[in-house]
Amino acid sequence: MSIPGFVIFNFMIYAIINAFTPGPGNFLALNTVTNYGLKRGKPLFFGIFAGYYFVQTSCCVFVYALGSLLPQFLAVMKYIGAAYILWLAIHIAISKPGKAGDEKSASFWKGFALQFVNVKIYLFGITALTGFITDYSRAFPVLFLFEMIIATVGTIATATWIGLGMMIQKFYEKHFRIINIIMALTLLECIYSMLVS
């Protein structure tokens, strides 16, 4: 069974919005590059990237196992995912820019460990699969492919925050309300697509 183009499109929209919004990894990367510079911050950045791929692989295994052992529960996960995306949309719409605290070190393991406590990316990986993909395929290679897409989009997002440094932070702080509302409305469209597909 092939996955319709509009489903893949909405999956990508969800992945991009979720990855590029301010979160623990993006704030830590931004704060590190502004405090330590690119060269000294590299170990931490690589830790964030590696952690992202590791967590998304774990999400893939979880969804695959769930689909194999309790396939009827995947339908329930779709609605849990929709509720999470709705919460995320509301949270994004009403949120204000935050400040990252001063970091004392820029190690690989600090960046890697951050991803294990970053609930956002666990929910991101699981809801993306159960909301958009598992209705069309539960094959492990397909699930793994889409989780690697998520991890790659997340890595690109964090690298963008690193590369543009303070420019992103200043632009976002100046225009955060309209940016947040646009992202929230786009997520609402993703929920609609997810539930009617």
pLDDT band at 121 (very low <50, low <70, confident <90, very high): confident
SS (H, E, C) 150-192: HHHHHHHHHHHHHHHCHHHHHHHHHHHHHHHHHHHHHHHHHHH
As a whole number of Å, the end-to-end CA separation of the chain is 14
pLDDT bracket for residue 102 (50, 70, 90)? very low
State the pTM of this model.
0.77
pLDDT band at 177 (very low <50, low <70, confident <90, very high): confident
Higher pLDDT, 137 or 168: 137
- In whole angstroms, give the CA distance from residue 97 to residue 35: 19
pLDDT number for residue 64: 94
Is the model more confident about 113 or about 103?
Answer: 113
What is the tens place of the pLDDT at every residue in 148-174? 999 999 999 999 988 876 676 677 778
